Amino acid sequence: MNEFTKLKALTIGSATIDIIASVEDHDIERMTMHNATSSFLLLEEGRKIDVSSIKSSVGGGGTNSAVALARLGYRTGVFIRIGKDLEGQKIKEVLAAENIDTHLVVEDGAKPTGQAIMVMSHVRNPTIFTNRGANTALTDDEISPAMFDGVDLVYIASLSGNSAACLTKIARLAKQAGSFVATNPGIRQITYWAGDIIEALANVDLLSINAVEAEQLALTLLPKGQPVATDAPVGDGPALLEKGLGGRSFESFIKEVCSLGPRIVLVTNGAEGAYAGTPDGIRFHPASKAEVSNTAGAGDAFATTFSAYAAAGADLARCLEAATANARAIIAAPDTQSGLLSKKEIDTEICA
């Protein structure tokens, strides 16, 4: 029996139409910096580049998380902002096909539905051009306590532009309604809306971020702690446990963030794996190898799946195993949603 079917979820975040262009390696140059972690795709000015495929799909953190939760069995609704255009209607059609409640979807008469163009080549880690459109225009007036009535899990994906100012109210009302509150803020949100995030964390159960975002959070929000001796890992253990973050040990970072409110801090570190920390300790789970088709959406799949299991009372080990399985499935898919698994598929894979 799937116990998730008894639970209700609401996701809040962005909705986009993703246009994905796949370019063969020999048709585009790639430059990697030897003294940094950055790589660049080089596009020749004025040149028309042949691509192996161009596909269109629905994406964005709000919709990706909604589809993930619906496939896991949660009775899922979504609170997003779209334009009054064909792209917005396409998003509503896809959500309805996944049995996701769309009655809270806001249609903006002034701004268009968000769109993104992804260029994929070489290591399949896409460069993304984005027009956030209506995603930037959520307002406090559109958020009411009734939205959260009877909701077991409120998942707040990254909020764009002025929508980020709504995080504090969303988290407060969700917590007052008795929901398990999970949030996955993006790097721009952490950088430019630091005060709002630190205020919202008092009402957050689970904070999910990647290692780059964690470094920014450590440097931006938290006081300096015990400095570490080197920026490079000093042993062969999990990298963040060896390296630390923001001039402090990783353990100190987790405790400092938990002191702001969250019971669990989830930090993903790409191909290395993920760390789930509480005031009592840290559990590391290595990533599993998979054929990579597209890395976009992997973070959404991981954080949402972890949240779904955590809200249902699963322990950290189970949450990490389930999240890893769903993220592995999504990076093997050509877009951000088609590879998402059901709970039965995840549990079968974990037990295999």
- Domain housing 14: 3-28+51-351
CA distance 9 to 5: 10
Nearest to 205 by CA among 245, 257, 160: 257
Q: Which residue in 217, 250, 219 sits closest to 233, CA to CA?
A: 250
Name the token pair of 99.
């049995």
Domain assignment present for residue 33? The answer is: no
- What distance in Å separates the CA atoms of residue 234 and residue 214, rounded to the nearest whole number? 20
Q: Residue 265: inside a domain, yes or no?
A: yes
Look at residue 15 and tell me if it is in a domain: yes
pLDDT tens over the chain, length 352 residues: 688 999 999 999 999 998 888 777 766 777 776 666 677 777 777 888 888 788 888 999 999 999 999 999 999 999 999 999 999 999 999 999 999 999 999 999 999 999 989 887 756 667 788 898 999 999 999 999 999 999 999 999 999 999 999 999 999 999 999 999 999 999 999 999 989 999 999 999 999 999 999 999 998 765 555 444 444 445 567 888 888 887 788 999 999 999 999 999 999 998 899 999 999 999 999 987 777 666 777 889 999 999 999 999 999 999 999 999 999 988 877 777 878 999 999 999 888 6
Q: Is 140 within a domain?
A: yes
The CATH number given to whatever domain includes residue 217 is 3.40.1190.20
Asked if residues 188 and 102 have their Cβ atoms less than 8 Å apart, the reply is: no
Does residue 45 fall inside a structural domain? no
Tell me how many degrees the CA angle 4-5-9 measures, rounded to the nearest 5.
70
Does residue 135 fall inside a structural domain? yes
Cα–Cα distance, 270 to 211 (Å, whole number): 8
Read off the pTM: 0.90
Q: Does 38 reside within a domain?
A: no
Number of domains in the chain: 1
Residue 290 lies in a domain: yes
What pairing do the DSSP bridges indicate for beta strands 153-156 and 281-286? unpaired
